[in-house]
Amino acid sequence: MKTLFNSKKLENQIDQFLDAVSQGLIVFLNGVKSYFGEDKEDFAHYLTEISKLESEADKLRRQVENDLYTFSLIPENRGDVLALLEHLDNVIDTAKETLHQFDVEVPDIPLEFADKFIKLAETSCNAGEEIVLAARAFFKDIKSVRDHVHKVYFYEKEADRLSNHLKKDIFRTDMKLSRKIHLRDFTTHVEKISDDAEDVADRLSIYTIKRMI
């Protein structure tokens, strides 16, 4: 099998980009936990950190895109690599936007739902972490991509199940309908990280087959 490129600089940039996405997921989860723990100082810290990481990921992705046309990437894989990075960027974008929505809208979530929201966030982030590992494998050990992609699908389905149960519980309370809808929307926002990871997994599976032929 041909290697994708022979540039150490490009390889390092992609590693740094994947590091930023992975760290963004960790920061997102810590931010959600600090929100439910009512630790305003920590929440503000994680809000700042995820913005920095998302900005860094954008910068690295643009650098890689520019350098892909400079270094000797196999032309037939160039489009796949660009699309892979762009859709991976959606994962950290969603994490940042969701944490900022907690800050802007300050959802009033009953304490009885805190553990379920955190569990949903953990599961959604697990899907994100696995797609980062799958992407690293695509560049370094393509035979192990499948080992991580199947976990993305597992965690996405689990996040979907947790989200549906949480929404049912919310709509069976005596809260006002407007508050129920607000909490339902936040459930969907948190779940979306796993949906974005699944989207990348679908694409990565195709790119991997193309390289294995």
pLDDT, tens digit (0-9, with 9 covering 90-100), for 166-176: 999 999 999 99
Instruction: With H, G, I as helix, E, B as strand and everything else as coil, classify residue 174.
Output: coil
pLDDT digits over 127-174, tens only?
999 999 999 999 999 999 999 999 999 999 999 999 999 999 999 999
pLDDT of 76? 74
Q: Report the alpha-carbon distance of residue 83 to residue 79 in Å, rounded.
A: 6
pTM, two decimal places: 0.93
Q: Which domains can be identified in the chain, with CATH numbers? A: 8-212 (1.20.58.220)
What lies within 8 Å, CB to CB, of 43 at 6+ separation is 31, 34, 35, 102, 103
Q: What average pLDDT does this structure show over 31-43? A: 96
Q: What average pLDDT does this structure show over 105-117? A: 96
Is the pLDDT confidence value at 7 over 90?
no
Is the pLDDT confidence value at 213 over 80?
no
pLDDT of 8? 79
Nearest to 95 by CA among 158, 147, 39, 32: 32
